[in-house]
Amino acid sequence: MLRGLLALGVAFAAELASSRIYVSSRALRHVEQLLHPSVERDFDYVELFNGFSLSSASDRVRKSLSSIRGIRVSVDSQMIPSSLLAQEYAPPHLARLQLDRPVGPDRGPYVYRYESRFQGRSQTINVMDSGIDNSHSALYGRIRYMRAYGDRDTDPHGHGTAVAGLIIGHRYSVAKEARIVSRTNWVNGVPTIDATLQCLRALRQLAASPTFCGDNWARRQHSVIITANAPWNDALDVAIQHVVTIFGIIVVASAGHGAADACQFTPSGSPPVITVGGIDQNDNFWLDGGHGPCVDVLAPAQALRSTGSHRLHLEPGSSIQDVEVLVDGTSFAAALSVGMAAAWADILQHSLLRERRPDYVRFLILSTAQAGAIRFVPPSTPNLVLKYVPGQIPG
Give pLDDT tens digits for 99-118.
999 998 788 889 999 988 88
Of the two residues 99 and 152, the one the predictor is more confident about is: 99
Instruction: Please state, in angstroms and as integers, the Cα–Cα distance from residue 6 to each residue in 23, 27, 65, 209, following that order.
Output: 16, 15, 11, 74
Q: What is the pLDDT of residue 172?
A: 96
Confidence check: pLDDT of 180 > 80:
yes
Give 338's pLDDT tier (boundaries 50, 70, 90).
Answer: very high
Give 7's pLDDT tier (boundaries 50, 70, 90).
Answer: very low
Enumerate the β-bridge partners of residue 128.
183, 226
Q: How far apart are the first and last CA of the chain?
A: 44
* Axis crossing angle, helix 159-168 with helix 330-349, rounded to the nearest 10: 40
Enumerate the β-bridge partners of residue 305.
326
Q: What is the pLDDT of residue 212?
A: 45
Confidence check: pLDDT of 80 > 60:
no
Q: What is the pLDDT of residue 384?
A: 98
Question: Tens digit of pLDDT for each residue in 58-75?
Answer: 666 677 777 777 778 887
Question: What DSSP letter does each residue of 197-244 carry, written as one string?
Answer: HHHHHHHHHHHH-TTGGG--TTTSEEEEEE---EE--HHHHHHHHHHH
Instruction: Pick the range with the lowest mean pLDDT from 76-80, 89-93, 256-260, 338-342.
Output: 76-80
Average pLDDT over residues 284-299: 97
**Radius of gyration of the chain from its Cα atoms, rounded to whole angstroms:** 26
Enumerate the H helices of 15-150 as residue ranges: 28-34, 46-49, 59-67, 92-96
Cα–chain center distance at 2: 51
Question: pTM of the full predicted structure?
Answer: 0.77
The Cβ of residue 271 has, within 10 Å, a number of other Cβ atoms equal to: 12
**Strands across the sheet containing 21-25:** 41-44, 51-54, 21-25, 71-75
Confidence check: pLDDT of 274 > 80:
yes
Confidence check: pLDDT of 17 > 80:
no
